[in-house]
């Protein structure tokens, strides 16, 4: 059985053009949204690899902080000790 399709070259070309347009939009959308929002794109790992810092915990360098932050830290530690004792 032979199936005859009229203008098959034109239909195949349209299919590939639509496929290409979808692919371009899928790649360009995160990049453009990142540029317009002054943020890195959600898929920034495609363009730049993250290099490990060597610290498995990746702890941020803490500045002295405010008096309030120190009081909250002390409260949390005392609260943890209280619940660990029981």
pLDDT 10s digits, 20-73: 999 999 888 888 777 777 655 555 555 556 566 666 666 566 666 788 888 888
Written as six digits, the tokens of 51 are 């290099």
What total of structural domains would you count in the chain? 1
Across the range 2-7, mean pLDDT stands at 76
Is 53 a domain residue?
no
Task: Report residue 77 as tokens.
Answer: 């530690």
Closest C-alpha to 42, from 61, 56, 29: 29
73 inside domain: no
Q: How confident is the model at residue 81 (pLDDT cuts 50, 70, 90)?
A: confident
Q: Is 58 a member of any domain?
A: no
Answer whether residue 62 is part of any domain.
no
Please give the full DSSP string across 13-46, using - where no structure is assigned: HHHHHHHHHHHHHHHHHHHHHHHHTTS--TTGGG
Give residue 24's pLDDT.
93
* Residue 57 forms part of a structural domain: no
Tens of pLDDT along 8-23?
889 999 999 999 999 9
In which domain, by residue range, is 42 found? 8-46
HSE, side-chain direction, 13 A CA sphere, residue 5: 6
């Amino acid at each position: 059985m032979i199936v005859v399709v009229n203008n098959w070259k034109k239909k195949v070309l349209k299919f590939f053009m639509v496929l290409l347009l979808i692919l371009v939009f899928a790649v360009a959308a995160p990049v453009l949204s990142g540029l317009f929002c002054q943020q890195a794109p959600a898929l920034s790992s495609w363009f730049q690899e993250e290099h490990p810092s060597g610290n498995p915990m990746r702890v941020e360098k803490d500045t002295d902080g405010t008096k309030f932050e120190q009081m909250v830290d002390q409260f949390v530690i005392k609260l943890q000790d209280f619940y660990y004792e029981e």
